[in-house]
Amino acid sequence: MALPIHTGRLIVRECTIADLDELAAIYAHPEVLWWEPAPYTREQTQAMLELTLTRYGDEGMGEYAVVLETTGELVGVCGPVYREVEGERLPELGWDLRRESWGRGYATEAARAVLPHAAGLGLRRVYSLIDPANARSQGVARRLGMTVERRVVWADRPHDLWALDLAAHAVTRVAAYVLREGQRGRELLVFAPRGLRARVQVPAGRLRAGEDAGAAVLREVLEETGLDDVAPVSVLGTQIWAHFENGGVYPTVYFELTAGSGGPGTWEHTVGGEGVDRGMIFDCRWEPLPLSFGLWARTGALLAYLEAAGR
């Protein structure tokens, strides 16, 4: 699953060296690392950050920055890191938050958002090493659905090893922002089901069993709009959101794609494929950016980031 991950309140992204000042302030608080003999110095935090950046390249994962969606403030870190635990190399999902941010559900929200990412990395299980006296982290683990597997000794102290299977946490949906250069400038491909004009949206849908997300997004564009001359440009990120009808939580990867400048500005298309929309008529069109209206069912969640990037 692609980074950054958007949860509604939080953004989970890779750390950068520019995060050092905020991370140093977080780890300087004695309650954040209450089990350590002393808070981290700036030099210790810098060494930890440099190790994290190295892990991204060597292991393809690590602790990620957790920032507020509205302000960009860094409130902590969360992510999977390999640990040696009694002779086993296990992926541990950990979290550390700014002391002032405790009690707001950020740790659970960030960790839950990282689970599909971990599944996308090929991990089948994740673990958390939690001190038996750490009631707060135990609560986070329980809310994630983790259970204690066994008591272990790690870092010369007893820890409970919490575990969670990731089979139910893989990415399940894709969404497509298809752009072209039209007569009115940059235009976005949108559609609405016939008779439901208010439900203007972009192509999106669920992955089929064993299907790659990149293949799925091309299929959704073809089935829902009939366009077959589109090409992927980039992955914009992932949004964790609840479906507007059934309430299910679907990690959705958003793609930017490009299409040729030819073709009509509006058309109708009969939906193909195997989904519940098969046989419906969609009224498709190109709309100039920025849009003058909102998209249906949160399919516009990451559009602002694409516009801000000037792409």
pLDDT tens per residue, range 154-174: 999 999 999 999 987 877 789
Q: List the domain boundaries for the chain.
A: 5-169, 173-308
**For residue range 182-196, what is the model confidence (pLDDT) as tens digits?**
888 899 999 999 988
Left, alpha or beta for 260 (phi > 0: left; psi -120 to 50: alpha)?
beta
Q: For residue 120, what pLDDT is reported?
A: 85
Residue 6, both tokens: 């958007």
CB 42 within 8 A of CB 94: no
Please tell me the distance from the alpha carbon of residue 72 to that of residue 101, in angstroms, as a whole number: 14
Q: For residue 197, what pLDDT is reported?
A: 77
Phi, psi for 161 (deg, rounded to 5): -95, 105
Class of domain 173-308: alpha beta
* For range 262-268, the mean pLDDT: 91
Q: Which of 116, 18, 110, 113 is nearest to 67 (CA)?
A: 110
Q: For residue 173, what pLDDT is reported?
A: 87
Residue 159, both tokens: 């820890």
Residue 138, both tokens: 């135990």
Q: For residue 36, what pLDDT is reported?
A: 82
**CATH architecture, range 5-169:** 3-Layer(aba) Sandwich (3.40)
Tell me the pLDDT band of 96, cut-offs 50, 70 and 90.
Answer: very high
Q: For residue 182, what pLDDT is reported?
A: 86
